[in-house]
Amino acid sequence: MPQDEAMPPDRIDMNRLELISHSPEQTQRLGIRIGELALAGDIFLLVGSLGAGKTCLTQGIAWGLGINEYTLSPSFVIVRELHGRLPLYHIDLYRLDHIEEVEELGLDNYLYGKGVCVIEWAEKGLSVLPAEHLIIQIDYLSDSERSFQLKPSGKRYLEVLGQLKHLTLN
């Protein structure tokens, strides 16, 4: 029997949180809460297909950090630095195809800096990104609904999960 099947379901779900968003506004609300509780050095890894809502969530995180200049206009910039209560480093790995390209970006100043890192298409760089992080996996449920699964690695992100577990989006 495969290992997962032998494990009781509550063990598999332990330390994970799923939130359902019914609109872009609800996704932004989740982002705002994350932005409000973020600390310097936090790493949020966004995983989800095209149009899942990664940028929408990031916009909320920016607002939660007190950044008002955030725009949704498409940009070919891989790293955007914005300043609020803390710096926000918004990194988008979409255009990168090889892990070497991620390494060559020299992201360490951002990843181990004094700001908050939000990384879209983080799955493209997982092996070279910090081991402690919060994965936010976004799945498409319908035109207006998305599932957000929060998967923490490390003590800091378990704490973040605890701060989000009573959040209601509607």
Q: Which residues bind ligand ATP (CB under 6 A)?
A: 21-24, 26-27, 48, 50-56, 94, 120, 144-146
Name the residue with the smallest CB distance to ligand ATP.
Answer: 53
User: Given the complex with ligand ATP, which of 124 and 146 has the nearer CB atom?
Assistant: 146
Q: Minimum CB separation from Mg ion for residue 41, in Å? A: 23
- Binding site partner of 48, from Mg ion, ligand ATP, none, Cβ cut-off 5-8 A by kind: ligand ATP
Cβ-closest position to Mg ion: 55
Cα 11 to Cα 78: distance, rounded to the nearest angstrom: 37
Residue 50: CB minimum distance to ligand ATP, A: 4
Nearer to ligand ATP, 56 or 86 (CB): 56
Residue 112: name its binding partner from Mg ion, ligand ATP, none (Cβ under 5 to 8 Å by kind). Answer: none
Q: Least distance (Å) from ligand ATP to the CB of residue 141? A: 8
- In the bound complex, what is the minimum distance in angstroms from residue 3's beta carbon to Mg ion? 34
Q: Which residues bind Mg ion (CB under 5 A)?
A: 54-55
Nearer CB in complex with Mg ion: 75/127:
75
Buried b / exposed e over 67-89, threshold 16 CB at 10 Å, is beebeeeeeeebbbebebebbbb
Shortest distance, CB of residue 48 to ligand ATP, whole angstroms? 5
Long-range (24+ apart) CB contacts under 8 A made by 52-56 are 52/138, 52/139, 52/140, 52/146, 53/21, 53/24, 53/27, 53/138, 53/146, 54/120, 54/121, 54/138, 55/120, 56/24, 56/27, 56/28, 56/31
